[in-house]
Structure 1
Amino acid sequence: MTMKVCAALFCALFSCSCLVYAGGNELPLIPLPSKVDQHEGQLVVGPGTTIRVDSSDTAALRVAHAFSDMLARIGGPTLLIAAGATRTEHAANGVREIVIRLDPNASVTQREGYVLDVSPGGARIVARDESGLYYGAVTLWQLLTANQNGKTFTAHAVHIEDWPQFAWRGLMIDSARHMQSVTEIESILDQMALHKLNMLHWHLTDDQGWRIEIKRYPELTRIGAWRTPPDAGKNGELTRYGGFYSQDEIKQVVAYAAARHITIVPELDMPGHAQAAVASYPQFGVTGERPEVSADWGINPYLYNVDDNTFQFLQNVLDEVMTLFPSRYIHLGGDEAIKDQWNASPAVQAKMRAVGVKNADQLQSWFMGRLGQYLHDHGRHLIGWDEILDGGAPGDAVVMSWRGTNGIEKAIHAGHDVVVAPDPYLYLDYVQSDRDDETAGRLPMRSLQAVYDFQVAPKGLSPQQAQLILGAQANVWTEHMPSDAHLQHAIFPRLDAVSEIVWTPVGEQNWPSFLARLPTQLDRYRREDIQYADSAFAVKIDVNRQQALASGKARVTLSNQIQGETIRYTVDGTAPDSNAAIYKAPFDVTLPTTVRAVTMTSAGQALAEARERVIDDESLRSVAGNELSACPTPNVDEMRAQPTPDATSFTPVYTINNFDNCRLSRALPLDGVKSIAVDLARLPRNVALAQDAHLIVQHKAATPHGEMELRVDHCSGPALTVVPLPDPATSPGTFTLQTKLPLTRGMHTVCILTTTAPHDPYYGVGRLQLHTADTAPANQHP
C-alpha cells in the first residue's frame, strides 16, 4: 500500500471538517488498516441514510446502534435502523444504506477483524465476530467524520480488510493518586474505542488512596480514600483530598466499557503500595501501627502482612472485586515492594522459615502465588508487574513488563505471557516537550514521535516466543495530573501513536504517513472538546542573546518537534494566519520586536496555538526557570512540579531534581550586569525516595532556613553571592530574592543552589532576571 501526504483544508469548528483527498492520497484513519484499496466516488451519509441489519442478527443490531450514537455525538443525525429487508428491495427509493452483518465466511478470518466496502451507493461491514463489526463501524466513522458539513458526512470509496496485530491493546489509568469522575472515565473509554483499544487497566489502590468500595470493609473508603496534603489549610488551600467509586458506579463503568468492546482489568496493588489499606486496617500491616494515608508519591514502606488473617482479608476483598469485574485477568501489582518491614519483623521471618523460602523476594513470590491460586480457583488469572519474576512468578501468571524492556525477554524465557508496558517508552506521565511552557510531569520528555517509534515485539524472537506477547499498553500515572484537563493533555495525541503500534502491521507503520493523517484527528478532538497537547507542533522561537544585545538585532530561528509542515510567522504584532510569512531560514529583526509563529498544514489548518516571544533588552536578560537544567550531580531525577500537590492549574510549574536543589542556566551575557533577581517557589518535598533517600545531595545551611547561593561557570567552589531564605512560617510560598553581582564580562552559566536539609522543602526557580542597574541590596553573607 503506497502512502502519500494528504492535503487539508481548515473549516469552522463544529460546523464542518473538510479535509480533502485527491486520488491515491492517504485516508484519515488512525490506526492505519492492514489493507486498503481506494476507488473512485464518494458516499454521502445524512439524515435520510438507513442502517440495515438482519432481524436475527442481534450483534449487528448492537453495532448499528453504537455507530448511530457515534455520529450523533459529533453532531450528526441519528440514523434510522431497519431490520429484515435487504438493500435491493429498497434501491428504487434511492435511500443510501449502511449494511452491518455477521458473516461466518467473511474473508478476514482473524479475531476482531472486518471487511469494509464503501461505494457511492452505500457501505457494507462484515465480520466473523461482533468486535470486528464494531471496529469496522469505527473505521467508517473515521472516514465520515473527516468530511462533515453540518449533519451531512462524506466518505471516499474504499475496500478495507483489517485486523489487529495484538490482542491486548491497552491504556492504564491511575485513579489512586488523583481520582477521575465517572464521566471522565467514560470519556476516556469513548476515545479508546475510537482508537480500537480494548483493555482499560484501572489502577484503583495505592499508598495515596483506596478508590473502590468494598462493602465488607467500609474503613477502606471511610479512611483509606482520603489524604491530607502537605501544608494543608495554609493560605486557604484544600485541607483534604480523595473519594472513591461506589460499587454501583463501577458496575456502570464496566457496562459502559463492555458496550464499547473494552475489558476493564482492575488493579489492587500488593504486597507493597499498601499504605492506604494499612491506614484503614492496621492489623493487616506488618507493624500493627496505623499510618496516615500517604500524601507522598514514590515508594512508601508499608507492606501487607503474610499471616492467615491478612490473606483472608485479601481474599474477601477479591471476592467482591471479582463480582464487579468479569475480566479474565485481575492485576495484583507486585511492584516496588521494598522489604524493610518484612526483613525487620520476627513474625515474618518465622513465616519465611515455615513456608521454606530463603529471602524476601521469594516470600513475595509465595505471597503472589497463594493469591494467584485463589484467583485460578475462581476462574481468573493473575497479572502483575515484572517484579513478580524476581522470586519466581506463578506458572500461569501474566507479566506486565515495565522496568524498561529487559522484563519482556525474561518473562518470555520463563514461559509467561507478556504485556509490554515499559518505562519510559510507553509512560505518558512524562512531559511531551522540553519547552518552558510545558505543564507538570516527569522528565526527560517522551515526544509523540518517541512513542510512535517504539516497537512492541523485540527483534530476534522466534515465532513461538513472539506468540507470548499479548500486546502492549500505555500507562498514565497521575501524580501530576490532578484534573481532567491534565489527564487529557498527557494522553492525547500520544494515544494515537499507541493505537497504531498495537494495531497496524509493523511494515505499514510510517511516521510521515502518521503525521499526514493526524491533523484530521486533532480536528475531531476539537469538536469533541478533548483538550489534547499541541506540543509536537508548537513553535520554538530561539535567538542568539549575546549577538542581539551587542548589535540591537536578533537572528531568529523557528522550529518544532516534527520538523515538518509549514511554520508561519509575523513580526508586526498581528496573529499569524494562512497569509503570514512562511519560515524558510533564520531571519533578523531589530529590537524591540514581538515574534509570533504557528505551525500549519499546507492548506492553512493551524496545528497548535500560536506561540510568541518578546525580544527586547529585558527579555534577553531573562531566563524562565523551566529552561534551567540539573546541576552536574551523580543522580538526576527531574520533574515539573506544581506549587501544591493537588493544584488544578496548568501553570506555574517548577522543574526540580529530587536529589539536588541546584539548577544551572545556559551561558548568559553578563557584560554590564550589576544585579540579579531570582523568583523562587517553596514546594513541598512530597516524593518518597525510600532506599534512595541517602542519595540526596546535602548542601549545609548556615542560617535557620537556609540560603540561596549563586555561582558562575560551575556549581562547585565558593559562592559568588549568598542570600538567606525567608522563614517558611511567615513568608509567602513564592517570593523574589535580589542581590548585587560583581561585574563580569562575557558569556557564563549561572548556578542557583539552595542550602537545605533533606527533609526541607524544594525551592523551584520561576525566573531569573539580570539587571544592568543597581536594583538590589548589597550582597549578603551570613
Structure 2
Amino acid sequence: MLPLVLHLIFSNAYSQEKGATTIGIIPKPNYIELQEGFFLLNKNFEIKYESDFEIAANFIKKFISQGISMDMSSKKPKRPISFIKDSTIQNQEAYKLIINPKEITIKASTGKGAFYATQSLRQLFPSDFENGTFRKKKLNLPCLMIEDAPQFSYRGMHLDVGRHMFSIKFIKRYIDFLAMLKMNTFHWHLTEDQGWRIEIKKYPKLNEISSLRKETLIGHYSDKPHKFDGKTYGGFYSQQNMLDVVQYANDRFITVIPEIEMPGHSQAVLAAYPELGCSGEPVEVATKWGVFEDIYCTKEQTFDFLEDVLDEVLDIFPSEYIHIGGDEAPKTRWKSCLDCQKRIADEGLKDEHELQNYFISRIERYLNSKERQIIGWDEILEGGLAPNATVMSWRGTAGAIEAARQKHNVIMTPTSYCYFDYYQSKDENEPLAIGGYLPLEKVYIFNPIPEELTKEESKYVLGAQGNVWTEYMASEKQVEYMVFPRILAMSEVVWSKTNTKDYQNFLERLKNFNSRLDALKINYSKKLN
C-alpha cells in the first residue's frame, strides 16, 4: 500500500535553547531514552502514513496547524513525520516514538497505538500549540526514543449526568481530556432517581416526565431542614446527540459504555410509569440525593419495558459492555410485594437477594443474546453472580477479590482511591462536596491489583477508572475542578508500570503540564492536599 502524504508548511516556527531537556509526559511512558540533538521543525515538513493510521496522522496534522500556519507553496525538501506499521509490536495499544535530527518516526501495529504515540508527541510541543497562540519561527524537538504500552486494557473515566446534566459540547471536551491521557473508556451514567437522560422513542414519558425534577436540594444533604430551590431542572440527550458523541469518541479510540440503572435508582422511571413499581402508586422524580426504596418490580411487564429500552440503547452504543447498575437497591418493596414474592416462590429462590440475582441474570441473558456483556456494581455479587458478568468494585476491594476468584472480570473503582466527588483538599474554602477526602497523592499510589490475589487471579483485573458523581457539581467548571489534576494521577495508575511510578517525579511533570491545562482553559485545582 502506498503511503499517503500530507505536507505541512509553516510560516512560523519555534526556537529552543540547546541544553538540558526534561521529558514531562503524563502518563509516564515505560521507557524513554533521551539522545543527542534536535529535530528542527520548520515550514518544510510532511506527514507520511498508511490508511490504518489516518486518525493519528490527521490528529497530529490538526494539532500542529493550531500552532503554526500552513504555506503549501514551498518547494524545499521536507522532513517527514512517518507512521510505520510494525506487526512485531504485539500489544495493540503499544507504540514506539523515535525522533532523530532527520525525521520523526511512529511505529505501531494498529491505529490505536499510533494515536497514543501522537498524544506523547503532543506533549513535547510547547503548550501554546493547544490554543493557537504559538508565534515563533522554528521549534527544536529533542531527539529521543520512547517504547510504551499500557499496564491495563481498561482505562476509564465516569461521568454522572443524572444528578446534573452537561452539554454535548462539554461531553466532547471531557472525551478530549481522556484521549489526551491515553484513556480508552468513557462510562456515561445516564439514568438516576433524579433524572433520565436518554431519549427512548417507544416510551416518550421518560423524556416528558422522568427527565425533569420539580426542584433541587440546596446545600448539603446533611443540612437540616432540607431546603429546595423551587426551580424545574432537567433535560435529555436525543439519540442523535448520543450517536454523535459515540462517533466523536470512536475517532479518539474511546469506547462509550452507557449505564442504565436497574433494579434500583429507578424512581424517575416510576414517576412516569408507576405500573413498573411494586405498589403501582405514583412517585415523583427525586429532588434530593440518596437511596430510595421505590425500585423496579420483578413482574413480566418490567422486563418487557427494560428489553425495549435496551434495544434502543444497543442501537446507539456499539460497545461490548452495557452497564446495568445493580447497586443500592433496597429490598423493602420486594418483601411486601405479591408479584415479587410469587416470583421468589415460582423460581425456587431463597430470598430477595437471590431475586436480585434472578433480575440481573435475566437481563444478562437478554444482552448476551444480543452479543453484549454486562457490567454491574459490586452489589450484583449478592445472591449469586450472573454467569458472565463483569464486576465494578466500588465498596473497597472485597467485591473484586470475590469476583476474580470466581474467574469473573473486574474493574476497580474503590471509593477511597477513585471517587473524584470527594474533597481533594482540607482547605476550608474548598467548594461543597459530598464528603470524604481523596488527595492527589492517594490517587497516584493506588494499585488496582489487590494484594490478596494470586498472579493467576490478578489477570481478571481489567483496569480501573475515576468516578465523578455530580450531586454537588452543578456546573461544567466544577466538574473540571474536581477532576483535575486527579485524572492525571489516575491516567498513570492505569497506564504506567507500577515499578516505574514516583510521586515526586510525577509532581515535577505536573508543574510542566499545568501550562497545558492553562492553555486549554481547564479549571483545575492547585491544592495538592
Give the TM-score of the pair, scaled to structure 1: 0.62
- Name the residue aligned to 1:66: 59
Taking the aligned partners of 1:61 and 1:79, their CA distance within structure 2 comes to: 22
Give the alignment partner of residue 375 of structure 1, picking from 350, 354, 367: 367
8 Å contact 2:54–2:111 — kept in the other structure?
no
- Name the residue aligned to 1:674: none
- Name the residue aligned to 1:159: 145
Could you say what secondary structure the match of 1:524 adopts?
A: helix
Change (3 A) 1:362 1:220: same
Equivalences for residues 380-779 of structure 1 within 5 A: 380-536=372-528, 561=529
Taking the aligned partners of 2:336 and 2:329, their CA distance within structure 1 comes to: 14
Give the alignment partner of residue 286 of structure 1, picking from 258, 278, 281: 278
Q: Which runs of 5+ in 2 are unaligned?
A: 1-11, 219-226
| Higher normalized strand content (fraction of residues) | 1
Structure 2 residue identity aligned to 1:30:
I
Equivalences for residues 86-125 of structure 1 within 5 A: 93-105=76-88, 108-125=89-106
Taking the aligned partners of 2:204 and 2:508, their CA distance within structure 1 comes to: 52
8 Å contact 1:400–1:421 — kept in the other structure?
yes
- The Cα shift of 1:22 comes to 4.8
8 Å contact 2:196–2:207 — kept in the other structure?
yes
- Name the residue aligned to 2:27: 31
Structure 1 residue identity aligned to 2:35:
H
Taking the aligned partners of 1:321 and 1:275, their CA distance within structure 2 comes to: 19
Taking the aligned partners of 1:79 and 1:167, their CA distance within structure 2 comes to: 41
Give CA deviations for 1:143-170 in whole Å, capped at 9, x if unaligned.
1235864265442111011000000000
- The Cα shift of 1:51 comes to 1.1
> Is residue 51 from structure 1 mapped to residue 47 from structure 2 by the alignment?
yes
Give CA deviations for 1:711-742 in whole Å, capped at 9, x if unaligned.
xxxxxxxxxxxxxxxxxxxxxxxxxxxxxxxx
Change (3 A) 1:236 1:386: closer
- The Cα shift of 1:412 comes to 0.8
Give CA deviations for 1:603-640 in whole Å, capped at 9, x if unaligned.
xxxxxxxxxxxxxxxxxxxxxxxxxxxxxxxxxxxxxx
The total of aligned residue pairs comes to 504
| Greater RCO (CA < 8 Å, at least 6 residues apart) | 2
- Name the residue aligned to 1:184: 170
Change (3 A) 1:410 1:383: same
- The Cα shift of 1:423 comes to 0.8
- The Cα shift of 1:529 comes to 0.9
Structure 2 residue identity aligned to 1:150:
R
Taking the aligned partners of 2:386 and 2:433, their CA distance within structure 1 comes to: 35
- Name the residue aligned to 1:274: 266
Equivalences for residues 87-236 of structure 1 within 5 A: 93-105=76-88, 108-145=89-126, 149-150=134-135, 153-230=139-216
Taking the aligned partners of 1:78 and 1:506, their CA distance within structure 2 comes to: 42
Change (3 A) 1:21 1:203: farther
8 Å contact 1:279–1:293 — kept in the other structure?
yes
Taking the aligned partners of 1:405 and 1:241, their CA distance within structure 2 comes to: 36
8 Å contact 2:13–2:43 — kept in the other structure?
no
Change (3 A) 1:442 1:171: same
8 Å contact 2:155–2:183 — kept in the other structure?
yes
Taking the aligned partners of 1:199 and 1:19, their CA distance within structure 2 comes to: 36
Q: Which runs of 5+ in 1 are unaligned?
A: 1-14, 81-89, 537-560, 562-782
8 Å contact 2:44–2:76 — kept in the other structure?
no
Taking the aligned partners of 2:61 and 2:340, their CA distance within structure 1 comes to: 58
Taking the aligned partners of 2:16 and 2:407, their CA distance within structure 1 comes to: 48
Equivalences for residues 299-314 of structure 1 within 5 A: 299-314=291-306
Change (3 A) 1:79 1:193: farther
8 Å contact 1:266–1:325 — kept in the other structure?
yes
- Larger Rg computed on CA atoms: 1
Taking the aligned partners of 2:165 and 2:15, their CA distance within structure 1 comes to: 37
Structure 2 residue identity aligned to 1:345:
C
Taking the aligned partners of 1:461 and 1:236, their CA distance within structure 2 comes to: 47
8 Å contact 1:68–1:79 — kept in the other structure?
no
Instruction: Report sequence identity in percent.
Output: 37
Taking the aligned partners of 1:284 and 1:347, their CA distance within structure 2 comes to: 11
Taking the aligned partners of 1:420 and 1:21, their CA distance within structure 2 comes to: 44
Change (3 A) 1:513 1:236: closer
- Name the residue aligned to 2:331: 339
Give CA deviations for 1:73-108 in whole Å, capped at 9, x if unaligned.
5x444698xxxxxxxxx9x94422211122223xx3
- Name the residue aligned to 1:665: none
Taking the aligned partners of 1:319 and 1:173, their CA distance within structure 2 comes to: 23
| Higher normalized helix content (fraction of residues) | 2
8 Å contact 2:421–2:482 — kept in the other structure?
yes
